[in-house]
Chains A and B, each alone.
Chain A
């Protein structure tokens, strides 16, 4: 036999198995336990026992050690995801080497497969950290945004969808500026002239954010500085509400970079005045909040002025009137509400309307006639929160209103007659609606939610999709991620596909996701099943060979 010509690739099964182990852990084992709790643990136990028995006895020690090695290395590499780059590389190297050494001496496995498997695991993690692989069961990650966030400032990156010209949309968010001392010099030189400006600029060092926009160029997403014409269409409360009301937000433009920073709204003296008059907290805090909102708006107007653009926010409410332009004609309607929530077709298909919210009250105004169509007053027991989403639940063309109260409920508006509450979550449920969208043609709309585990008694909410049928929600799928916030289904161009944008709580990362229908979990289960089957076949064959050589 010509040994030199045969290239030994017996490390390949090890490499593939190391990746499969981690995939099975993320897509099969963790979900079983998350959702089914004790039953899930039992199922995993049974699964592990079957797998254990499928391994030929001679190979058990090596194969099981290698499996545990792959799993532990995967977990360890994943745990340093957010460390600074140099530390991250160093730690990954040290951990891999240490584990290879231990495994080599314990199970006498060859070093080459161990090294190559480590490289594969590190490579997988660099492509996408294992903790984010949970999305891959139902979504393709079209853009993985790393924007930087200091959790002391606000809990998650805002995901602001801004309509631009031509029916397109861009995604606007904030990115933490890593500043050096020389950047501070520039900022100080550019500070305004009022008495607090210098102090505000200096004390926010490393807590300053650049306004960035992510735009879609035929399916390829890029992140760059926000353009003045685009941010002119932005509602600034979406950028300042994370700080509201205890910090006042300032904006400035430096060399084409739009910068946002904040300073405390009140001095210790003013806070003491509030604390000294606690019976008046409701009115004092409201008055302070109104002042802060006004200051924020003024600061935003100052920024737009300095950029030479005029605010172009579409439809807004001020002084009790809904004003702005829509589809070419101007709207001016007296309304009771204070906030614009969304546009859509709420009372029937193709009925261009706008949904507004006031104090415990929803109003729908027709954009075609400019008149109030219908309104809804919330109950005292379960008042309307301002956390309201809209979207379709069937293919009738009518948009439904999801209200995240306690508990959450779904409202179907009606032009003639009372609105129907077509679904109410169970009383103590912490279900939260994020919106709904149709992914792909001929598909029923999926309602995206954050919903707690099926059986595990924790308040942790997982990213779940439901379909509405006859007063009940039926689960489509669940992505076992609990840190998902600011979810919005969005079409970046009028004829393009629907994406989902979301950011991760307490992390400076966000995703633009595209839905796919590849059965990832069944395929992974099949691969696992095949390996178990292969194991049993090998055991049977060895058993036959052994029996065949026994002298009768």
Chain B
């Protein structure tokens, strides 16, 4: 048999390996990382956590957790607020430490800006564009009075609250979940923002509370509501507040280093 008709088996094997390798390389060209769904644009509406069971309950668990919270000396807060209109989502986030009654060090994020706020006693400073300026002081720095007032209004108006199953894991512990649908008129009284404008077109709001099973602390609160804003149209407003590191040493506030540097080199 002429030699050029007889291929050595090792040559055949290496050719086959080359073939497979080449084909695999070409096939994998399609496997590029896919672009993620745009952040800030979504068509998801309210929370997508689904609960299996729902039973009638009372406000006492929340009342107790708020009383416990009012006694805390320091904690951290992480909030996210979203206002969705069509496919667009606007809003802001909050992350910071609170030492009631008059110390707070908080960072925000909104639309490409990262504002901060620092207060101790009656000295308050804030920055949006990196330049710290003196600011009016906020009185009674503590989220729990807000929830205490809320629970008071709910019990006074006998708003039904339900316990949902199963328990959910929040940050570092399992929590009992309570949910209530609150009529808009009970929360639309005297907003802090601008007294000229009152929320006029708002649906009932679904409040969901997560109370720790270990110690009965209030760990998370979410709200979900629809509203209509003149000139803009229908919006969905959602908020999510998480409270953590309650009474832990890491929640003790020290001065924001950026503020310190900014004040130090002013002269």
Q: Which of A48, A288, A456 contacts B194 (CB 8 A)?
A: A288
Residues A52 and B30 in contact, CB atoms below 8 Å apart: no
Residues A45 and B191 in contact, CB atoms below 8 Å apart: no
Chain A interface residues (CB < 8 Å from chain B): 25, 29-30, 32-34, 40-42, 44-49, 52-53, 64, 68, 71, 152-153, 155-156, 203, 236-237, 241-247, 262, 264, 267-291, 293-294, 296-297, 317-318, 338-339, 357-360, 382-387, 404-406, 408, 430, 432, 456, 458-461, 482-483, 485, 505-506, 546, 550
Q: Point out which of A33, A152, A269, A291 has the most chain B C-beta atoms below 10 A from its C-beta.
A: A269
Q: Does B171 contact A (CB under 8 A)?
A: no
List 12 A–B pairs whose Cβ atoms lie within 8 Å, in order of A's numbering.
A45-B24, A48-B22, A52-B23, A237-B231, A268-B128, A269-B138, A283-B191, A285-B239, A286-B199, A385-B84, A386-B233, A405-B43
Q: Which of B52-60, B89-97, B158-166 contacts A (4 or more CB under 8 A)?
A: B89-97
Residues of B204-257 at the interface with A, using a CB-CB cut-off of 8 Å, are 205, 221, 223, 225-237, 239, 241
Residues B232 and A293 in contact, CB atoms below 8 Å apart: yes
Residues B19 and A404 in contact, CB atoms below 8 Å apart: no
* Distance in angstroms between the alpha carbons of A404 and B43 in the assembled complex: 6
Residues A360 and B77 in contact, CB atoms below 8 Å apart: no
Chain A contacts of B63 at CB under 8 A? none
- For the complex of A and B, 6 pairs with smallest distance between CB atoms: A33-B30, A268-B126, A339-B233, A48-B23, A338-B228, A152-B112
- CB A261 to nearest CB in B, in angstroms, measures 12
Residues B126 and A269 in contact, CB atoms below 8 Å apart: yes
* Distance in angstroms between the alpha carbons of A244 and B12 in the assembled complex: 66
Chain A contacts of B36 at CB under 8 A? 459-460
When A71-B29, A264-B128, A358-B234 are in contact, do A246 and B91 touch as well, CB less than 8 Å?
Answer: yes
* Distance in angstroms between the alpha carbons of A244 and B146 in the assembled complex: 26
Chain B interface residues (CB < 8 Å from chain A): 2, 4-5, 19-20, 22-32, 34-41, 43-46, 48, 77, 79, 81, 83-88, 90-92, 94, 96, 104, 106, 108, 110-113, 115-117, 119, 124, 126-129, 135-136, 138, 140-143, 146-147, 149-150, 184, 187-189, 191-194, 196-203, 205, 221, 223, 225-237, 239, 241
Chain A: CB-nearest residue to B90: A244
Q: Which of B23, B90, B141, B205 contacts A246 (CB 8 A)?
A: B90
Residues B192 and A269 in contact, CB atoms below 8 Å apart: no
Q: Which of B48, B140, B200 contacts A406 (CB 8 A)?
A: B48
* Distance in angstroms between the alpha carbons of A269 and B115 in the assembled complex: 10
Q: Point out which of B29, B32, B116 has the most chain A C-beta atoms below 10 A from its C-beta.
A: B29
* Distance in angstroms between the alpha carbons of A246 and B93 in the assembled complex: 11
Chain B: CB-nearest residue to A32: B30
* Distance in angstroms between the alpha carbons of A52 and B44 in the assembled complex: 46
Residues A276 and B143 in contact, CB atoms below 8 Å apart: yes
Q: Which of A153, A236, A268, A430 contacts B115 (CB 8 A)?
A: A268
When A264-B115, A282-B202, A460-B35 are in contact, do A406 and B44 touch as well, CB less than 8 Å?
Answer: yes
Chain B: CB-nearest residue to A246: B110
* Distance in angstroms between the alpha carbons of A70 and B100 in the assembled complex: 65
- CB A250 to nearest CB in B, in angstroms, measures 14
Residues A286 and B237 in contact, CB atoms below 8 Å apart: yes
Chain B contacts of A284 at CB under 8 A? 191-193
Chain A contacts of B27 at CB under 8 A? 29, 33, 41-42, 44-45, 48
Residues B81 and A359 in contact, CB atoms below 8 Å apart: no
- CB B93 to nearest CB in A, in angstroms, measures 10
Residues A279 and B147 in contact, CB atoms below 8 Å apart: yes
Q: Point out which of A270, A288, A290, A485 has the most chain B C-beta atoms below 10 A from its C-beta.
A: A290
- CB B20 to nearest CB in A, in angstroms, measures 8
Report the tally of A-B residue pairs with Cβ distances under 8 A.
Answer: 307
Chain A: CB-nearest residue to B181: A380
Residues A241 and B85 in contact, CB atoms below 8 Å apart: yes
- CB A282 to nearest CB in B, in angstroms, measures 5
* Distance in angstroms between the alpha carbons of A482 and B36 in the assembled complex: 8
Residues A485 and B41 in contact, CB atoms below 8 Å apart: yes
- CB A140 to nearest CB in B, in angstroms, measures 24
Residues B221 and A279 in contact, CB atoms below 8 Å apart: yes
Chain A contacts of B126 at CB under 8 A? 267-269, 272
Residues A25 and B233 in contact, CB atoms below 8 Å apart: no
Residues A338 and B23 in contact, CB atoms below 8 Å apart: no
Residues B112 and A506 in contact, CB atoms below 8 Å apart: no
Chain B contacts of A387 at CB under 8 A? 43, 86-87
Residues A458 and B116 in contact, CB atoms below 8 Å apart: no
* Distance in angstroms between the alpha carbons of A71 and B191 in the assembled complex: 60
When A243-B111, A430-B37 are in contact, do A283 and B199 touch as well, CB less than 8 Å?
Answer: yes
* Distance in angstroms between the alpha carbons of A538 and B140 in the assembled complex: 87
Chain B: CB-nearest residue to A284: B191
Residues A276 and B142 in contact, CB atoms below 8 Å apart: yes
* Distance in angstroms between the alpha carbons of A360 and B205 in the assembled complex: 13
Chain A contacts of B26 at CB under 8 A? 29, 44, 47-48
14 further contact pairs, Cβ within 8 A, besides A244-B85, A279-B147 = A44-B23, A244-B83, A244-B90, A246-B110, A282-B202, A282-B239, A287-B191, A287-B194, A287-B197, A293-B229, A338-B201, A339-B232, A359-B228, A385-B43
- CB A174 to nearest CB in B, in angstroms, measures 14
- CB A499 to nearest CB in B, in angstroms, measures 21
* Distance in angstroms between the alpha carbons of A32 and B28 in the assembled complex: 11
* Distance in angstroms between the alpha carbons of A71 and B29 in the assembled complex: 9
Q: Which of A282, A338, A483 contacts B205 (CB 8 A)?
A: A282
Q: Which of A278, A285, A360 contacts B241 (CB 8 A)?
A: A278
Chain B contacts of A278 at CB under 8 A? 77, 79, 143, 146-147, 221, 239, 241
* Distance in angstroms between the alpha carbons of A372 and B119 in the assembled complex: 55
Residues A293 and B205 in contact, CB atoms below 8 Å apart: no
